[in-house]
Amino acid sequence: MRTTLDLPENLLKEARKITRTSTKTGVIVRALEGLARKSKISGLKKYRGKIDIDIDIDLDEIRGRH
């Protein structure tokens, strides 16, 4: 989708440097993905400590530690 935006050049330049993204579009896409991710994580936090898993999980085994 084509959209015209008026973005602060210094902020865009800083974001391109931080993300190592060469295009303006790439920076905007990464920013939108990050925003969506943060929103999903925030939504999941309300379940913290409320879900009981009756499975014996060995994190060392899952992470490949022996």
Q: For the chain, which residues make up each domain, given as ranges?
A: 7-45
What pLDDT sits at residue 63? 87
Burial class of residue 27 in the structure, from the number of CB atoms within 10 Å of its CB (0-12 exposed, 13-18 middle, 19+ buried): buried
Percent of the chain with pLDDT over 70: 97
Q: Angle, to 10 degrees, between the axis of helix 24-45 and the axis of helix 9-19?
A: 70
**Average predicted confidence (pLDDT) for the chain:** 89
Which parts of the chain sit beneath pLDDT 50?
A: none
What pLDDT sits at residue 51? 76
What pLDDT sits at residue 33? 96
Per residue, the 3-state secondary structure of the chain, as one string, reads CCCCCCCCHHHHHHHHHHHCCCCHHHHHHHHHHHHHHHHHHHHHHCCCCCCCCCCCCCHHHHCCCC
